[in-house]
Each structure stands twice: as structure tokens, then as C-alpha cells.
Chain A
């Protein structure tokens, strides 16, 4: 095949100049600068707020104290003006739920209060593309319904299955517990709890109470540890239980917070952009020499043996 045919697109490629290369370089530098700016903000802004973790609002649930009276559920419904409904899981109208676990032989049983765990490093807030979920400095993870586009990435990312939709609506929004952010005397559920299974306070003092209970009753609690102290990077809802955590539906998280699983990828963003840019530029320059073109011309000639 003749060399002429290499340049099928006569208008485009007849005059590959140094200027073209500069244009590529320009586009690349611009893209790279933008990419690293975005990713730097991303990494700089991750981490806690102004209030130290131990002073943030928190909730402590001791399953061994819980009698399953469900007063907390009622108080929550009342305070948040939610519809009455009979459901098995958290929903758009149920922000907290008491469930009973019972082993098959009936020998072992425990209640568990389901609600938003208000993670220290929440997966929902990291995943939301429009920042509708936010970890506040005070501790609670808040949802700003006006921003939400309804992509449901938060529902997918949350290891506790907390964010819920009202699926009966055509244009639904997420709903979840906000740890009664606006109330001054602590979450409504905690105020309603009479057996002392649910206590509100700062994370530091609640952790102290929990550890004192473990120390006072060695062997009573599962693994002698507080769920949420470190699990999944820590939560603002701390749980003590006599039965194993997975039996009462707590996920097998390591100490690594969910957002950190994608951290390498986030950090790699400018390198991906830069790599693609650099590769493109190098390839563009390297493959346009006269020698290369000639080689290409020969190669193309070889391929004519294609059959129909």
C-alpha cells in the first residue's frame, strides 16, 4: 500500500506540526492542574471537625438491659412525625427499630436496636456525589434532602443498611435517623428508655460507662468489647451485647473505615489523569516520525490478506 493512503484523512493529518504537539501539551497541563486541585481538596478536607471525637454527641445501647418495650420507637415516631407502620426493617417512616434475636433452641436471645450508627468516617457521606450527607462536627450524620438526587449510592455503601427510601413515592427521598440533632436534651429515643439500655451523652463518657460495665461483669459481654469503638473506623452509636455481634446483625467490619477502601483510587486520580495525559503526549510525538510512518506503511501492506 502506498504511503499516500496512510493519510486517509487529508484535512486532518496532512500537516502534523510542532504546534499540534504544543496544543496537546496545553490541554494536558490544564487537565492535570484541575485534576490535582480537585483531588487535593478531596484529601485535605477528609478527617474530623473542630470538636474532638470524645466530646461529640453519641448514644450507648446495652442490649442486656433492653427489655424490648419499644418505647424508643414510639418516641422516635412522635418526635419525627413519622407514620405508624408495621415493618421488619428500617424504612422511610421508621428510623429506629427493636428486633429480637433468638437462637433455634431458644437458649440464647437478645434485643438489638437498629438505627443510623453515625459513623466517625461515614461511607454514606463519602459516597454521596452531591454531598447531601454530611458528618457534622457535633457527631450526627445529617441528610440534606434538598440536595439529594436519589442515586441510592448511600444505601448501597452503608454497611448497616440504614438509609431508606419511601418506595411508594414516584420521586422519593432518603430518610434516616439524625440523632435528634435539633433537640437539646438528647435523642428522643434515649429520653424514652426507662430500663437504662439507651443512654445519650458524649462519646468519651459513654465509652467510659461501657468499659466500666465490661470491667464489672467480666465474661458477660461478647468479646468483652464495645461495638463501635473501632469497628469500621468507629461509630457514634456504641453497642454492648451478650450474644455475638453478627447474630444481632452487626456487620463484620475491620478497623478500616469503608471510605478508606477507595482511598488509593482517590489518591490515584491525578496520576490516572497525568498518566493518560503523559502517555497520550508521548505516543503522539513518538509515533509521528517519518521513520515510524514508513514502518506503518509497510505493516499495513502486510494486512491485505483479509478475507471476507
Chain B
């Protein structure tokens, strides 16, 4: 793969992408119901249950998009260049992730057309303000990180060179902004001491969110990288990349689990895990499935260097993260009984599908793999 191929908008679309396309169309239809008929009809939200599945989606997708900064830090700050190709993939998936999270705001917000108010009306007290500002700035940074790939493709060498000069400060700024906003996502829930179940409420929430975002960053890089190897012929990674990521995932999974359980132990609330309520069951599922199980897999010497098992551990960690964010955003929150409507589920699935399709289009048309001189 040394030559740059002409954009291949091919007739052949894989079945999986075709199915995702159908889900995307249905998703946009469900979003249309919200735009035309309103939140009351499209959702099961109410005054005592103002946040639901869409918030979980935002929280989870933003955590996965943490793969962009985590891998960028690993490659460019820790100088682990063997991760360079996977860092480029993580960058694109993070970029796409933030875009679909922003798209979710168009249904989630009551007044999506006023999103620009963020620039004009500041409230620095609000963790949500901090999240918004960091995300907006970080999107700009991500664009600056992504553009060189586009310029490579378009062969705009001078523009590429110009941006390349600033690569290191851009990457550094991205890491700093991400650290700020991943932790302030956790700080949002600090204002809910009476509503959020003690299994999740903790003054450590910002740190838990930050570390679990990095964890899911590695998990996402593993799953996207290994899935992509099946779909894209030109993808190739250095040997040892995935077992390296697996080891990092193991370290971060253990750190997150230790922090969560340790925090409960310090607060003397370990007993809550066994109270056999809806919340405690969800907590057990979250941590057993999403943390303990992948940790065990990654500890087994036979499996820890096997790509298939690393992939399984990655998928489990991704699920653990999703369940954690669902738990924090509605399962563990006091309020009216809530289950998402089909419109909420479909639009969430649709937004996810749009993200994947967007990623597929980018990966098909822009060479994500850095040329290698073997």
C-alpha cells in the first residue's frame, strides 16, 4: 500500500453497513418524531425523570472517544510509536464519537437550536459548562489532528506540513482538555447527593469517570482495531500491539475496579452490594461482567497474548463502561419509574449506526495506516 487510491465510492456495500444504514434511517425517523411532536411523546421522560437513555449514550460515547486522547498520549507523549496506527484509528473513532454525541444533543436538548448560547452565556460554576467548553475546544483540536490525514489524502503537502509543525502542542492540548472534560462529566453527578444511589455517588466520581474513560479508551482501541482488520484489507498493526494494549487494559481495569470498590469500602457501604435490589444487581452485573471477567481473561497466560481473547476482554470492558454510564444516568437515580420508549431506543441505535457508517466512510476513503518502510 504505497500508492494512494482514488476515492472508492464503491457500489459494493457490506451487508453489515447496509443493515446499520437501515437502523440509521429508522433512527432519524424516531428523531423526527421528537423534533415534530416533542419530548413528551417521543420519550418516557418527565419532570421527576428528566434524563434518560440519551444521556447514557452521550456519557458512554464520550468515554469511548477517550480512546483518541489515551492512544495519542501513549504514542506521542510516551513515545510508544508501535501504537501509531492504532492511535490514528482511535483518533478517527473519537472524532466520529464526539460528532454523534453532538448529534444526540439535537434530540436531547429542549432547545437544540440554542446550543451556541454556550459561547455567549457563561456559568463557570457549572460542571456542565466545563464539559461543554472542553468538548467544543477539544472538537476543534480533534479536527486539527484529523486534518493532516485528509491533507495526506488530498496531497496538500504544504498544508500538511504546516499543521504537522504544531503536532505535538496540538496533541498535548488534546490530552489536557480531555482530562478536564472526562473528569467534569463525573462532576455533573456530584450535584445529585440525594438522588444518585450510594453505590455510585462518591466525591471520587470525577476521578472514577476519568480513569474509566481511559480504560474504555484502550478497550475501544482494541475492539475497533481488531474488528477493522476483518473489514479493511489495508489495515495492519505491528506485532505486539494488541497484547500491549491488553496489558494496559488490564492495568486500567484493575485501577478502576480498585477505585470503585475501595471507595465503597472507605465509605463503609460495601454492604449495599448485597442488598439485592434492582440497583445492587445492576452494580454487580456492571462490575462482574465489565471488570472482573476481563481482568481474569487478561490474567490467564494462555489468553493474554491471543487476539481473540483480547478482543473478548475488550468487548466486555466496553459493556462494563456502558452499564456504568447507564447506572449513573438513570438506574441509580431516584425519580419516576423509567424505561426508554422505542423512539429513544431507535434514535440511540440510529445515532450509533450513523457513527459507525461515518467511520466506515472515512476508513474506506482516507488511508488510516501510516506507510511502513519494511
A contact set with B: CB distance below 8 Å: 5-13, 16, 20, 23-24, 26-28, 31, 35, 38-39, 41-42, 45-46, 89-91, 123, 125-132, 147-153, 155-157, 159, 161, 163-165, 167-173, 251-253, 258-259, 261-262, 264-266, 268-269, 272-273, 275-277, 280-281, 283-284, 287-288, 292-293, 296, 300, 302-308
Contact A303 B240 (CB under 8 A): yes
Contact B77 A287 (CB under 8 A): yes
Contact B190 A265 (CB under 8 A): yes
Closest to B168 in A: A20
CB < 8 Å: which of A253, A288, A306 contacts B79? Answer: A288
Report the stretch among B91-99, B173-181, B289-297, B315-323 that lies at the interface: B173-181
Contact A148 B111 (CB under 8 A): yes
Collect the chain A residues with CB atoms within 8 Å of residue B131's CB. 129
Contact B110 A171 (CB under 8 A): yes
Contact B47 A5 (CB under 8 A): no
CB < 8 Å: which of A41, A125, A264, A275 contacts B124? Answer: A41
Contact A171 B172 (CB under 8 A): no
Contact A24 B168 (CB under 8 A): yes
Collect the chain B residues with CB atoms within 8 Å of residue A169's CB. 38, 40
Collect the chain A residues with CB atoms within 8 Å of residue B35's CB. 170
Contact B77 A306 (CB under 8 A): no
With A9-B84, A303-B239 known to touch, is A132 a contact of B121 (CB < 8 Å)? yes
What's the minimum C-beta distance from A231 to chain B, rounded to whole angstroms? 12
Report the stretch among B11-19, B191-199, B256-264, B358-366 that lies at the interface: B191-199
Collect the chain A residues with CB atoms within 8 Å of residue B132's CB. 129
Contact A12 B109 (CB under 8 A): no
Collect the chain A residues with CB atoms within 8 Å of residue B166's CB. 23
- Complex formed: what's the CA distance from A168 to B121 in Å? 27
Q: Is B373 an interface residue (CB 8 A)?
A: yes
Contact A156 B167 (CB under 8 A): no
- Complex formed: what's the CA distance from A30 to B241 in Å? 34
For the complex of A and B, 7 pairs with smallest distance between CB atoms: A150-B110, A303-B240, A167-B40, A131-B123, A276-B179, A262-B190, A42-B124
Contact B239 A306 (CB under 8 A): yes
Contact A27 B173 (CB under 8 A): yes
Q: Is B307 an interface residue (CB 8 A)?
A: yes
Closest to A124 in B: B191
What's the minimum C-beta distance from B236 to chain A, rounded to whole angstroms? 11
- Complex formed: what's the CA distance from A280 to B171 in Å? 10
Contact B118 A148 (CB under 8 A): no
Collect the chain B residues with CB atoms within 8 Å of residue A132's CB. 121
